[in-house]
């Protein structure tokens, strides 16, 4: 089953748009669609908060990384400010996603070269 996002008004794909796509293309009712999207992102968020990595096959990996404290600087005043240790989320795209993105870019470039636009 292929999903189409052509009807989206903005270029960003939001949770509301995902729920609308589930409603339109799979047939779930709007409440079920919204609940399913919310549950999916809550599960990912909870796993990351617990310190677990999230791996989505064919898409990529979300990982928690602990950054050490370091000296920083207020760019406006030049004053030194210590930056506290913190946990951050990183995302690494899978090879499949990278290839898909590169394939789309390469196809667009080839189309431009062929049409001369």
Structural domains of the chain ordered from first start: 12-51 (4.10.520.10), 53-117 (4.10.520.10)
What is residue 48's predicted lDDT score, i.e. its pLDDT?
96
Confidence of residue 41 (pLDDT cuts 50, 70, 90): very high
Q: Average pLDDT in the 6-34 region?
A: 84
- Which residues, 6 or more positions from 75, have their beta carbon under 8 angstroms from its beta carbon? none
Nearest CA-CA partner of 62 in 49, 72, 77: 49
Distance between CA atoms of residues 57 and 47, nearest Å? 16
In the chain, beta strands by DSSP E? 54-56, 60-67, 70-73, 80-83, 86-93
Report the predicted TM-score, pTM, of the whole model to 2 decimal places: 0.69
């Amino acid at each position: 089953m292929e999903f189409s996002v052509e009807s989206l008004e903005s270029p960003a794909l939001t949770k509301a748009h995902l729920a609308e796509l589930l409603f339109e293309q799979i047939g779930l009712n709007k409440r079920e669609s919204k609940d399913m999207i919310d549950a999916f992102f809550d599960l990912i968020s909870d796993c990351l908060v617990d310190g677990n990595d999230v791996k989505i096959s064919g898409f990529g990996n979300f990982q928690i990384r602990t950054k050490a404290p370091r000296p920083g600087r207020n760019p406006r005043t030049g004053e030194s400010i210590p930056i506290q240790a913190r946990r951050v989320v990183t995302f690494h795209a899978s090879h499949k996603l990278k290839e898909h993105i590169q394939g789309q870019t390469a196809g667009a470039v080839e189309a431009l070269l062929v049409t001369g636009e």
